[in-house]
Amino acid sequence: MRTQVAIIGAGPSGLLLGQLLYKAGVDSIIIENQSADYVLSRIRAGLLEQVTTDLLKEAGVDKRLSKEGLVHHGINIIYQSSHLHIDLTQLTGGKTVTVYGQTEITKDLMDARSSSGLQTIYEISHASIHEFETSNPKVQYTKNGRSYELSCDFIAGCDGFHGISRASIPKDAIKTYERIYPFGWLGLLADTPPVCHELIYANHSDGFYLCSMRSPTRSRYYLQCELNDQVQNWTDERFWEALKNRMGSELSSNLITGPSLEKSIAPLRSFVAEPLKFGRLFLAGDAGHIVPPTGAKGLNLAASDIRYLSRALIEYYQDGSECGINYYSQKALARIWKGERFSWWMTQLLHQFPDQTNFDRKIQQAEFEYLSSSEVAQKALAENYVGLPY
């Protein structure tokens, strides 16, 4: 088989790249080691920067997003018992964010690809990448016991942190930067109305908590927990009780509890690989970088990678220019590191660290008090939260 762009990974990054290329007349084939049902079953965040919603509109997959997405004009930050409302729209000159689950984005992209008759090959195994430093890269894989080879002009590695794309690069050709945080997030999904119509990020002496939602009738809550904790240690009753204790009586009086649909513990990590281009192999999304979820940047940084990469590839095929593909890594990393900085800053502000000293706590308190008293600081937070320009 042959295609112009071989895309490894059928998550939102790979699917969005395929959709943008298709609309520009560039051929692609997507391969994925999991089943389509498995990909859709993964529970992920879904807070979209305005530039991300604009990109999904450009891709022509915004019909349900426009109808069902929850547009948010502000967020709430609580430090101990002090409450701060950040008016995103006012502070950024009219910009917003939108709550729309990553699963829904993936479904919209899958449906668009299927309706256009585009090829996505699920449940492959033994995938490997070859000759990506040449003008004729190849991807080999097995499907239903048969071996296949996919020849292409370019390979887009959109296969996540544990995928084959980054692992195929010689170790001396790539440099990585990483920080592992000493705690995790215990998340619970429930079919209950959200406690607030806007997100609440909070630092409590017992640890961080986040009140979020997927829809007006489905809530998502998170609690900071120990890194080695286990989900089975947390009954629904224990989770709700811990959340109420951190919320306090006034906020928890509005909390409606119910049976969990899903519970999981996610570790927090900051990670960046440099560069993101190796010959004709490009890394995008989690294959190249990870952020802690505190700043809601993971999916949005993946989308910005895809914007840069899709435009670079389209420019190559339509204009014969290699400028975009040569500078893809530089452009993407400039925005990635800004997202990493913001996610690190939010994490530092809102969590209880096990080795935190009295000095550290005073600095954290001073940071919140400065944010509360400074419109300039609030504008900086709002600008980063709604999404920096490309």
Enzyme catalytic residues = 72, 201, 293, 297, 385
d(CA 198, CA 192): 15
CA angle 140, 311, 381 (to 5 degrees): 110
Amino acid found at 315: E
Closest CA to 364 of 208, 240, 234: 208
CB atoms within 10 A of CB 357: 9
Cβ atoms 14, 30 nearer than 8 A: yes
Strand partners, 213: 219
CB atoms within 10 A of CB 93: 10
What are the angstrom distances between the C-alpha of 210 and each of 222, 267, 292? 5, 15, 13
d(CA 31, CA 10): 7
Alpha helices (runs of H) in the chain, residue ranges in sequence order:
12-23, 36-41, 50-58, 63-68, 88-91, 102-115, 164-167, 236-247, 249-252, 298-319, 323-326, 328-350, 358-373, 375-386
Burial of 256 (0-12, 13-18, 19+ CB in 10 A): exposed
Q: How many contiguous H segments (helices) and E segments (strands) does the chain have?
A: 14, 20
Report the first-to-last Cα separation within the chain, whole angstroms: 35
Residue showing tokens 């699963």: 103
Residues making up the chain, counted from first to last: 390
At 256, list the tokens. 């409606």
**Contacts within 8 Å (CB) and 24+ apart, 172-178:** 173/278, 174/273, 174/274, 174/275, 174/278, 175/273, 175/274, 176/271, 176/272, 176/273, 176/274, 177/270, 177/271, 177/272, 177/274, 178/269, 178/270, 178/271, 178/272
According to DSSP, the β-strands at 200-204 and 74-79 are: parallel
Amino acid found at 181: Y
